[in-house]
Amino acid sequence: MPKIRRLNHAVLYVTDAQRSAAFYRDVLGFETVQESAGGRAVFLRAGGSDNHHDLGLFGVGDVSRSRGTGLYHLAWQVDTIDELVDVRRRLVEAKSLMGESDHGVSKSLYAHDPDGIEFEVMWMVPESDWGSYATDAVVAPLDLSTEQSRWSGVATRS
């Protein structure tokens, strides 16, 4: 059974990502680590954190014409890529897996629970291998078997 190590990050739908990012920076001491989609997606790290990002903000604009604001998803972190492979198998068996992404700094699976609430289960690449991904927002197809070949047995933050 894979072991969830911690909540890695939360992602919120907000009306204006830049305005919300300013709030989290000015009021709570977060720092911006990445922006993408022309500033409509902002990823922030909490002041005392060594995580890549603790909060993602996705600007949806006028809520009367969008899906609304609020929680988009929570991301649960596992310790090894091998555990992520096991989680993928379990999600497929449960007919819950919705998608997979390679974000450079992390390898992610997206799924939904029985009520349709989306969540992410991810494995964090060792920080020494982040390279330009530390500041470049990436969404690429995930080749989990290749990643497992490269990272099998490598534990990251617990």
Q: What is the DSSP string of 103-130?
A: -SSEEEEEEE-TT--EEEEEEEPPGGG-
Q: Convert the pLDDT of each residue in 30-49 to its tens digit.
A: 899 999 999 999 999 988 88
| Residue 119 included in any domain | yes
Average pLDDT, the chain: 88
H helix or E strand, kind and range, residue 146: helix 144-151
| Residue 157 included in any domain | no
pTM more than 0.85: no
Q: What is the pLDDT of residue 68?
A: 79
Q: What is the pLDDT of residue 50?
A: 86
Q: What is the pLDDT of residue 158?
A: 46
For residues 81 and 123, what is the distance between their CA atoms, to the nearest angstrom?
Answer: 6
Q: Convert the pLDDT of each residue in 2-29 to its tens digit.
A: 788 888 899 988 989 999 999 889 877 8
Q: Domain containing 87 — which CATH number?
A: 3.10.180.10
Measured CA distances, 155 to 5, 84, 127, 128, 147 (Å) = 11, 11, 11, 13, 13
What average pLDDT does this structure show over 63-86? 83
Q: What is the pLDDT of residue 114?
A: 63
| Residue 105 included in any domain | yes
Phi, psi of 8 (to 5 degrees): -85, -45
| Residue 59 included in any domain | yes
| Residue 131 included in any domain | yes
| Domain span including residue 21 | 4-151
Q: Convert the pLDDT of each residue in 106-124 to its tens digit.
A: 999 998 876 567 888 889 9
| Residue 10 included in any domain | yes
| Residue 63 included in any domain | yes
| Residue 52 included in any domain | yes
State the pLDDT confidence band at 64, using cuts at 50, 70 and 90: low
Measured CA distances, 6 to 45, 74, 141 (Å) = 16, 11, 24
Give yes or no for a contact between 135 and 43, defined as CB atoms under 8 angstroms apart.
no
For residues 92 and 94, what is the distance between their CA atoms, to the nearest angstrom?
Answer: 5
Is the pLDDT score of 65 beyond 90?
no
For residues 87 and 92, what is the distance between their CA atoms, to the nearest angstrom?
Answer: 9
What average pLDDT does this structure show over 70-80? 86
Q: How many domains does the chain have?
A: 1
